[in-house]
Structures are given as structure tokens and as C-alpha cells.
Structure 1
């Protein structure tokens, strides 16, 4: 990136639904290897985003004013314990940067914004389910095996 091109990371709001839906569509189509015909997707995404807004925070990366990446955190309040301060944990999901903008630090900047947000909210931990390709990226950022968790995976 040259000095004439700038990347900014910011927390999203209701006005960002269209850009986030476009990034989600691009991600899904990249994984599928072709365009997907789903005329209702943007409407479904907007409904999901509105329903999740009370417990989820998203960040968008913009390059010259165009959304090129995103990440979000779902925040979960932990059950209170007597004599202990309340706390929460976060699930990091949907981290994605458009292919043309990868390997320029945008993913790291998005991750840093999400981690800073979780710290500021006194989260006890951040968990995620990385793709095989993204494991080294998260390891460089200090993430390691979640040995304190178990999962029950249902057949699809």
C-alpha cells in the first residue's frame, strides 16, 4: 500500500449491513469457487445482524473507503459467582479479507481491534474455530490450543 491509499479499521453499525453482507457473500463464493444465486441472502443477513446486535460487535476494514475485510465477536456473559466480579468471554468469528487485499496487515489490524475490544470488556478469553490455513496467523497473534474446552459436534 502506498501513502495515497489508506486502510482504516472501525466498529460497524446498522448502516454497515450491506457492506458486511457483501463481504460474507464474497467469502462464501470464494470458498464455493463460483457465484451463488441467492436473492434472499442480503435480507436474511440484515435480519440476522439486527437480531445479533445486542451481543455481537463487528469491525470492518476499509481501503480507500471500500469495505475489504471484517471480523466479529460474539460476547457471552458468564453466570455470576458469589464473591467474584462478573465476566464474559468472546467468540471470534467471520474473519475475512478480500483476496486482493490479503498479506498487507489488514487481517492483523482487524484481529487487533477485536482483541482490544474483548480486553476492554474484561473478557476472560477469546475462542475461535480457525480454518486450517488460518492457524499460523492466529498462533502468531498469541492464540493456542483451547485445552480447557470440549465440544460435542453434531452430524450435519
Structure 2
């Protein structure tokens, strides 16, 4: 298994995985009735920009060209503070492993590689909002529960 940043040739698989991930967790059942083509176009534009840029890092675990698992990370810059060097923190999202490959430690190996990357670049911390189903996975991989952030949702 190879763990690496995503490359342009991974985009079709990443799009399909995002679609499948969303369908798998869609309790309303409405997402499957939306247009894959519309989603594909929007997601492709995002992924092309993310892979080319330096703000998003999409990590994949693959074997023989097949992406088995992925984790998306976004670097969040902080406002500098006097008396110390300021490093970004990492927002982690879209953590997904193909169903047939779950429970085999692939996601944990992917997290370990990300942790090494975080240490190497001296990023301050990693934050993730886990689903209830994934809390044990994160705890097994040295994550701690944090106090929930406050949210604001503008009215439409």
C-alpha cells in the first residue's frame, strides 16, 4: 500500500468516493436523486484547485492505482502573535475508506502518515468533527475530545 498526496489521476476516484460517502450517510435518501453530473463538475473543479494549491492536502492510501482510503486536510492560517512564531493548524475532513477495506488498519496508517507530516511542518494541531460512529477510531489514534465550538447559521 502506498500513502501519498493525491494526484490529478486520482480525481475520478475521489469524486466517486465522495459521492458514495455522502449517499452512505444520507439519512433523507434525497442525495441519490440529485445529478451526479452536476456534482462531478463542481467536485472536479474543487479537486483540481486543491491538488494544484498549497492550502488543501488530500491524502490517499492506494494499491495498484486504486484509492482505498482518503483524508482531506486544509491548512488554516492563524493571525501572528508577538513573541512566538505562528504556525497554521490543520482542519481534517472527508475521512473515508471503501467499505470492503474497513477494519484493516488502512485509515490508521493514513492518519499516522498525516501525523508525521504535521510534526515535520510544525503545524500547531489537527482538528476534526467526528461522527458518533468514528469517535472510537479517532480515540484509538491519539485524538482527544474537545469542547464543542460555537456556531452561527445565517438565516436564508
SS at match of 1:154: coil
Q: Is the 8 A contact 2:10 2:67 kept in 1?
A: no
Q: Once the 2 structures are TM-superposed, how far is the Cα of residue 81 of structure 1 from its aligned partner?
A: 1.5
Q: Is the 8 A contact 2:78 2:88 kept in 1?
A: yes
TM-score, normalised to structure 2's length?
Answer: 0.84
TM-score, normalised to structure 1's length?
Answer: 0.84
1:10-29 Cα deviation digits (max 9, x unpaired): 11123322221111112112
Q: Report the counterpart of residue 29 of structure 1 in structure 2.
A: 23
Cα separation, 2, equivalents of 1:133 and 1:153: 25
Higher helix share: 2
Q: Is the 8 A contact 1:23 1:68 kept in 2?
A: no
SS at match of 2:57: strand
Structure 2 residue runs without a partner (length 5+): none
Deviation larger for 44-53 or 132-141: 44-53
Q: Report the counterpart of residue 49 of structure 1 in structure 2.
A: 47
1:24-63 Cα deviation digits (max 9, x unpaired): 1121122236845421212101111234433010111113
2:14 to 8, 17, 20: 20
| Alignment: residue pair count | 149
RMSD of aligned residue pairs (Cα, Å)? 2.1
Deviation larger for 9-18 or 73-82: 9-18
Structure 1 residue runs without a partner (length 5+): 1-6
Q: Report the counterpart of residue 151 of structure 2 in structure 1.
A: 152
| Cα 1:153–1:144 shift into 2, 3 Å | farther
Q: Is the 8 A contact 1:72 1:114 kept in 2?
A: no
Cα separation, 2, equivalents of 1:48 and 1:155: 24
Tell me if 1:62 matches 2:62.
Answer: yes
